[in-house]
Amino acid sequence: MTNPKTPILQFGTSRFLQAHADTFIDAAMKEGQNVGPVTVVQSSGDAARAGRVRALVRPEGYPVRIRGLENGAEIGRTLTVNSLRRGLSTAADWDEIVRIFRDEATHVISNTADRGFDPQPADVARVFDQAMSYPAKLQLLLRARFAAGGEPLAILPTELIERNGDVLKARVLELAGQDDPAYAAWLRDNVIWANSLVDRIVSEPIEPAGAVAEPYALWAIEAAPGVVPPCQHPAIRLVETLESAEALKLFILNLGHTYMTDNWLKNPQGTESVRDYLAIDTVRRDLLDLYEKEVIPGFEAAGAGDEARVYAATTLDRFGNPFLFHRLADIAGNHEQKIARRIGAFLGWSRANGGTQETPRLSAIVAES
C-alpha cells in the first residue's frame, strides 16, 4: 500500500505532542478540514523507542484520555487519534525524510525536549550525522528543499524556549553559513518561522502509544505575514503577541512546577505526583504564599496583576486535578535548565518591569542551581 502524502512533518514522538498538536490535527481531519495527515519522525535515533513510533501510526490509531474538570463538570472521555500515518527515524530513514521534506511538507512541527536546540560538535558537518542537533538536521533538510526549488513552508517549533521560532531561525542561519547568499535569502524570505507557545498538562503515557491529559489546552501562535496554523481548532489561537501568554505560563504554571519539584527533590515526603504533593497542607500554603508575595507582584509591576491572579487560581485547580497522575520525577528532568528558564528568567523579567518585591525562596533556588 502506498503511503499518503503527508503535508505535516513532525519531529518528536513525545506524549505531549500525542495529546496536543496531533489531537488537534486529528479533530480537524475528522471535521473534514483539508489538513494533514502527519509523518512523525523520531529524531533522537533511540532504538528503544522504535516500538512507540510503530504504535503511533497503527491504522486503528492510539488513545488519548482526557480527564479533569471543565466549567465545573467532570470530564472523562477517550479520543482515538489517527492523524499520524507514517513513522520514521532520522537514524534509519534519513533519505526518505529528505524526500518528504523536499516534496510534500507544508508545515513542520517540532518538540525536541528542553535541550534539543543545544549546539553539538557534529553540527559543523556538511552531511547528515545522527549526532547533530535538531537545528543542524533541519538546516540540511532546508538546503535540500532549496536546491530542488522548493515552495515556501512554515516551521512551528513548540519547544519551551522564549520566541522559539526566532531562536531556531537564527541558529539555522548561523549553520547555513555565508557561502551561499541565495540560500540564506531563501531561508529568510521563503521559510515562515513562527513563534508559538503550548500549554497542556500531559501526565501519563499509555503504552505502547497514547497519553492521559487534562481538558485545558492552548497552542498560541504569534501572527506574522504568512503564518497559517496547520489546522483550525478551538485550542489554536493566532495572537498579536505571545508576551502575555508566555509570561503567565512560564512564570506561574511552569515556575510553580519547578518550585514544587525543587522542594520535593530536597524532601520527597513519600509522594510522587503533583496532586498528592499539593494536597499536603504546608506545601499548598507555601505555594500560595510564593505566588502572592514573590510572583504576582512582578506581574503587577508589568500591569498584569489581575490577569495573573486569575491564571494562578486556574493553575492551582489544574495542579490539583484528581484524575491526573503528573509525576514530579518527570518534571525534574533537565532541572537546572528549567530553573534558569522559569525561575531565573522570571526574576530578570520582574526586575526589568520595575518589580521591587523580595524573592528569598526563588533567589535561593537560582543561587543553588
pLDDT tens digits, one per residue of 142-171: 999 999 998 999 999 999 888 999 999 999
Q: What is the residue-averaged pLDDT of the chain?
A: 94
CATH 3.40.50.720 domain locations along the chain: 8-241
pLDDT tens digits, one per residue of 222-270: 999 999 999 999 999 999 999 989 899 999 999 999 999 999 999 988 8
230 grid coordinates: 496547520
- The more confidently predicted of residues 68 and 294 is 294
- The more confidently predicted of residues 323 and 188 is 188
How many Cα atoms within 13 Å fall on the side-chain side of residue 303?
3
Phi-psi bin for 80: left (phi > 0), alpha (psi -120 to 50), beta? beta
Which residues have CB under 8 Å from 251's CB, separation 6+?
Answer: 295, 298, 299, 342, 345, 346, 349
- Checking if the pLDDT of 1 tops 50, the result is no
Q: Which amino acid is at 17?
A: L
- By the 8 A CB rule, do 201 and 318 touch? yes
Q: Phi, psi (5° rounding) for residue 329?
A: -65, -35
Q: Phi, psi (5° rounding) for residue 214?
A: -80, 160
What is the pLDDT, as a whole number, of residue 114?
65
Q: Which residues, in sequence order, are bridge partners of residue 156?
A: 109
Q: Looking at residues 163-184, what average pLDDT do you find?
A: 94
Phi-psi bin for 77: left (phi > 0), alpha (psi -120 to 50), beta? beta
244-368 under CATH 3.90.950.10, yes or no = no
What's the pLDDT band for 320 if we cut at 50, 70, 90? confident
pLDDT tens digits, one per residue of 60-117: 999 999 998 776 678 899 999 999 999 999 999 999 999 999 999 999 999 997 678 9
Calpha distance 249→160 (Å, rounded): 10
| CATH code of the domain made up of 8-241 | 3.40.50.720
Q: Phi, psi (5° rounding) for residue 152?
A: -60, 155
What is the pLDDT, as a whole number, of residue 2?
61
Which residues have CB under 8 Å from 309's CB, separation 6+?
Answer: 296
- The more confidently predicted of residues 323 and 88 is 88
pLDDT tens digits, one per residue of 189-220: 999 999 999 999 898 899 999 999 999 999 99
What is the pLDDT, as a whole number, of residue 322?
87
CATH 1.10.1040.10 domain locations along the chain: 244-368
Calpha distance 84→320 (Å, rounded): 31
What is the pLDDT, as a whole number, of residue 178?
83
Q: Phi, psi (5° rounding) for residue 156?
A: -125, 85
pLDDT tens digits, one per residue of 4-24: 899 999 999 999 999 999 999
